[in-house]
Amino acid sequence: MTQEQFLAGTPFKVKTIYNYKGDSTYYFKEGNFKEGTINKQIRSNIDERVILEDYHCNIEKIDDKGFEGYTFLFTKKVTVKYKFKDLIPYTPESVVGE
């Protein structure tokens, strides 16, 4: 995924060894926070449509290689860092298996 795709809000998956129909996707949304948020889309395993959408984490920093985000788990701040090269733009055709 490119930085431009990320900033445009293109849904993506995080590169893993698992990729199945109905897997959740994520997207960047500009917002009231410093840089914006990542929202999670829960998809149907029947037809891939979004059935539920929710906030996932805040974005603290975006640079030309990736982003840094955080959320709170109970009272502990949890930070994550991802590079754009590790994000896969979502397309229904990219799903493996049924």
pLDDT digit string, tens, across residues 26-76: 999 987 656 899 999 999 888 888 999 999 999 999 999 999 999 999 999
- Per-residue pLDDT for 95 more than 70? no
Residue 33: both structure tokens together: 């926070």
Residue 30 domain-assigned (yes or no): yes
Nearest residue to 15 (alpha-carbon basis) of 93, 98, 92, 82: 82
In a domain, 96, yes or no: no
Tokens matching residue 47: 């037809």
On whether residue 97 sits in a domain, the answer given is no
Closest to 35 (Cα-Cα) out of 5, 13, 6, 15:
6
For the chain, the domain total comes to 1
DSSP 8-class letter at 59: E
Structural domain contains residue 57: yes
* Reported pTM: 0.84
Query: What is the distance between the alpha carbons of residues 1 and 30, in angstroms, rounded to a whole number?
Result: 18
For residue 83, being part of any structural domain is answered with yes
User: Which residue range forms the structural domain that includes residue 69?
Assistant: 3-90
- From the list 22, 28, 20, 37, the residue with the least C-alpha distance to 87 is 28
Q: What pLDDT, on the 0 to 100 scale, is given for residue 25?
A: 93
| Residue 95, in any domain of the structure | no
Given a cut of 90, is residue 11 above it in pLDDT? Answer: yes
Q: What is the pLDDT of residue 98?
A: 46
